[in-house]
A and B are shown apart, each in its own frame.
Chain A
Amino acid sequence: MENEKVRIGFYALTSCYGCQLQFAMMDEIIQLLDKAKIECWFMLDRDSSEDREVDIAFIEGSVSTQEEVELVKKIREKAKIVVAVGSCAVHGGVQSWGKDKELSELWKTVYGDAHVKFEPKMAEPVEKYIKVDYKIYGCPPEKKDFLYALGTFLVGSWPEDIDYPVCVECRLRGNPCILIEKGEPCLGPVTVAGCDARCPGFNVACIGCRGAVGYDVAWFDSLALEFKKKGLTKEEILERMKIFNAHNPKLEEMVNKIFGEGE
């Protein structure tokens, strides 16, 4: 029977460990034990190794050191399916918010002239270095994101991506629109759904933690126009949209369009 179990690895790059914590905190994880064998999960298991072959590799965290570049390559070699989990692995995480500054400047601000024997680099998404087969969005992802992905993998199927924004879920919940009615800089219109509009449900504007809707349907330009009408500057708009989308290749181009540049 042992051989029939799906071999799972959970690997951490640079992150807050929230995606793993969310995964570990699911009561359902106990039910998983009959079906899966954990080969690597340092947060929970001392008997972990990054050198073992796995069927599914979950990777959380952004690539932020040279060692992590090597690690993701190794994981790719040993895994059948690689899943990037959470905003760090998928989008580079909030640590990429400082991407416009030089790494040396960030280093100097925090560490001064001090030397550390490891080599840091600017935070990047996992996809920059290896092929990623599936992405689980969120900071952190919802439990149902994990259950859905795992469930489909375990029955030999494949999870579907969500291709609509948080606004859809906000409307379904009947929340008042924070952007239109309260005039706050809500990123719901460009952010991939799946959280059941969690923050707007608490009267808090979306900060885009699940990242931009894929398939080039995140209309940064339309939203930037709306923000511009409310008096936000281009810099303010970019800053907010970059909290979780600093590596998005379309973002600046689309926002620039609204401010009459790069046409």
Chain B
Amino acid sequence: MYIPITVDHIARVEGKGGIEIVTSDEGVKEVKLNIIEGPRFFEAITIGKKLEEALAIYPRVCSFCSAAHKLTAVEAAEKAIGFTPRPEIQDLRDLLYIGDMIESHALHLYLLVLPDYLGYSNPLAMVDKYRKEIEYAMTLKNIGSKIMDYLGSRAIHQENAILGGFGKLPTKAQFEELKKELKEALPLAEYTVELFSKLEQYEEVTDDEMVHMAVKPRNGVYGIYGDYIKVSDGFEFPVEDYKKHIVEKVVEHSFAKHSFYKGKPFMVGAISRIVNNADLLYGKAKELYTQYKDLLRYNNCFANNFAQAIELVYFIERAIDLIDDTLAKWPVKERDEVELKDGFGVSITEAPRGLLVYALEVKDGRVNYADIITPTAMNLAIMERHVRMMAEKHWQDDPEKLKLLAEMAVRAYDPCISCSVHVVRL
């Protein structure tokens, strides 16, 4: 008689999910990631609503990546109504998005992942012994938040990113202040890379069939926006064709769907971006990438943590460059008028945890169709496969050890479970 190994509520992730592992004499019988977060029906509740109001609601899909949701929805909406933002506005949207990236990566690495490696149940318990690390986490998080405060109105659910641009832009002095603090934060990001280079261990999950998907960045700069998706098997497709290549299925044990590419699970996220676009990195991040190339393994989900650390360095440098570009063009006009024409638009961007899809149809100024696919919904199938691989390796070990390892595999994906729950129309 075997008692299933269950984690009712996976800790230190965003949202509510559990793990269930059933074994028998022969080995692992069943592995499930139960997604028990309630459904929120975002697509359904915004259909028929005014476009601007729907755009105010979409970031509420998720707090850890609210700027990602806001900006991806805004781009899809602008494509639908046939509006293209000025390059200066696009730069500032990139900067706002990067604020989210920095905050989210810092929180994930230090507060959600690090305690496992140092043997703590929570980050606050680490304060006595690892005060420096916690303070670094807070400083890095704060600079990301401040970018979002200044450009987006606040760090969670930014209202100051609207069709055509921004309600109001930060002052020149505020941009200078951000730049100064970003420069001060850069060494802390580099320390993060050093720290994780010592912690990361990869022997647990080795999946040589792993396929990675990421945006092919626009203008050849490693980043967030793009018009094509790159797959690590060499295939590329335009974002408008996403439904042909990212196929979703409902599974019984989850309020979130699972996604497949060519019938198989695939991964998105920081490691997927690096696997597909490392040649576009520059500056300090490029140096660190070259130095630590061996740790950025395509076949191991745990490499996602380390990839986030490299990205922390990259995005801080990129943010400084974007501020310099903005100040060189100063004064920048905050917004252009838009006309709510009918149409359909797809935007796929790089949220902190990977590809985020928004497809919106606009008719008479209202949302006529909405489809959202989040990174975690894309990652769930492969996440489940890797928890299974972990279980197959450790099913005879102490259940507590297996539980922790399975949770760590899930945490490596930096899942946003709330995000994943509400998914698309079939």
Known: A95-B41, A118-B255. A38 touches B124 (CB 8 A): yes
**Contact in complex: B40, A116 (CB < 8 Å):** no
B39, B63, B418: the one within 8 Å of A107 (CB): B39
| Known interface pairs A64-B38, A94-B45, A97-B45; A202-B14 also in contact (CB < 8 Å) | no
A119 to B, closest residue via Cβ: B38
Q: Is A46's CB within 8 Å of the partner chain B?
A: yes
Interface check A261, CB cutoff 8 A:
no
B38-A120 in contact (CB<8A): yes
Task: Say whether A21 faces chain B, with CB atoms less than 8 Å apart.
Answer: yes
Set B115, B157, B421: member contacting A18, Cβ < 8 A: B157
Q: A44-B12, A140-B157, A236-B50 are in contact. Are A115 and B43 (CB under 8 A)?
A: no
**Do the beta carbons of A209 and B157 come within 8 Å of each other?**
yes
Taking a contact as CB atoms under 8 Å apart, the answer to whether B142 and A204 are in contact is no
In the bound complex, CA of A101 to CA of B53 (Å) = 18
How far is B8's CA from A206's CA once the two chains are assembled, in angstroms?
39
Taking the closest CB of chain A, its distance from the CB of B327, in whole angstroms, is 20
| Given A12-B16, A27-B142, A112-B425, residue A204 in contact with residue B38 (CB < 8 A) | no
Q: Give, as a whole number of angstroms, the nearest-CB distance from A87 to chain B.
A: 9
> Quick check: B425 and A239 within 8 Å, CB to CB?
no
Given A109-B43, A110-B422, A243-B56; A47-B121 close (CB under 8 Å): yes
Interface size, chain B (Cβ < 8 Å): 70
Interface size on A, residues (CB 8 A): 68
The reply on A25 being an interface residue by CB < 8 A is yes
Of the candidates B14, B56, B60, B253, the one whose C-beta lies within 8 Å of that of A43 is B14
Docked complex Cα distance between A14 and B162 (Å): 27
Interface membership of chain B positions 34-59, coded 1 if the CB is closer than 8 angstroms to chain A and 0 otherwise: 00111111111111011001001100
Q: Is B252 a contact partner of A207 (Cβ separation < 8 A)? A: no
A240 at the interface (CB under 8 A from B): yes
- Residues from chain B with a CB closer than 8 A to the CB of A217 are none
How far is A236 from B166 in the complex, measured between Cα atoms in Å? 24
Provide the residues of chain B in CB contact with A110, threshold 8 Å.
39, 41, 43-44, 422-425
User: Which residue of chain B lies nearest to A15 when distances are taken between CB atoms in the complex?
Assistant: B418
Q: How far is the CB of A8 from chain B (nearest CB, A)?
A: 11
In the complex, the answer to whether B45 meets A98 with C-beta atoms within 8 Å is: yes
Instruction: Give the nearest-CB partner of B42 in chain A.
Output: A95
A-B pairs under 8 A by CB, number: 202
B145 in contact (CB, < 8 A):
yes
Q: Please indicate the chain B residues that have their CB under 8 angstroms from the CB of A22 in the complex.
A: 63, 155-156
Decide yes or no whether B138 CB sits under 8 A from chain A. yes
Q: Is A162 an interface residue (CB 8 A)?
A: no
B123 within 8 A of A: yes
Is B300 engaged at the interface, CB distance under 8 Å to the other chain? no
Is A147 at the interface (CB under 8 A from chain B)? no
A117 and B127: CB pair below 8 A?
no
Output the least CB separation between B93 and chain A (Å).
15
For residues 107 through 127 of chain B, which have their beta carbon under 8 Å from a beta carbon of chain A? 107, 111-112, 115, 121-124, 127
CB B127 to nearest CB in A, in angstroms, measures 6
Contact of A18 with B63 in the complex, beta carbons under 8 Å: yes
Q: Would you give the shortest CB distance from A64 to chain B, in whole angstroms?
A: 3
Roughly how many angstroms separate A203 CA and B9 CA in the complex, as a whole number?
41
Q: Provide the bound-state CA to CA distance between A115 and B255, in Å.
A: 9
A55 within 8 Å of B by Cβ?
A: no
CB distance from A239 to the nearest CB of B (A): 6
Cβ contacts under 8 Å, A216 to chain B: none
Which listed residue (B11, B42, B138) contacts A46, Cβ 8 A? B11
| B172: interface (CB < 8 Å) | no
User: B160 — which chain A residues lie within 8 A by C-beta?
Assistant: 199, 202, 204
B154 within 8 A of A: yes
Closest chain A CB from B205 CB (angstroms): 20
Cβ contact within 8 Å between B45 and A95 = yes
CB <8 Å contact, A67 and B56: no
In the bound assembly, the distance between CA atoms of A94 and B49 in angstroms comes to 13
Contact B250 A204 (CB under 8 A): no
Q: Which residues of B contact A202 (CB under 8 A)?
A: 153, 159-160, 166-168
Measured in the bound complex, the distance between the Cα atoms of B108 and A21 in whole Å is 11
Q: Which residues of the partner chain A approach B122 to less than 8 Å between Cβ atoms?
A: 38, 41, 44-47
| 22 CB-based A-B contacts, threshold 8 Å | A16-B60, A17-B14, A18-B60, A18-B66, A18-B156, A21-B64, A33-B124, A44-B123, A45-B121, A46-B407, A94-B40, A97-B45, A101-B44, A106-B44, A109-B41, A109-B425, A112-B426, A116-B250, A204-B153, A204-B168, A207-B56, A207-B159
Additional A-B contacts beyond A95-B40, A114-B250, A199-B167 (17; CB < 8 A): A16-B419, A17-B63, A17-B418, A18-B157, A21-B64, A25-B107, A42-B10, A65-B36, A94-B57, A97-B46, A101-B45, A110-B422, A112-B426, A140-B157, A198-B154, A202-B160, A204-B167
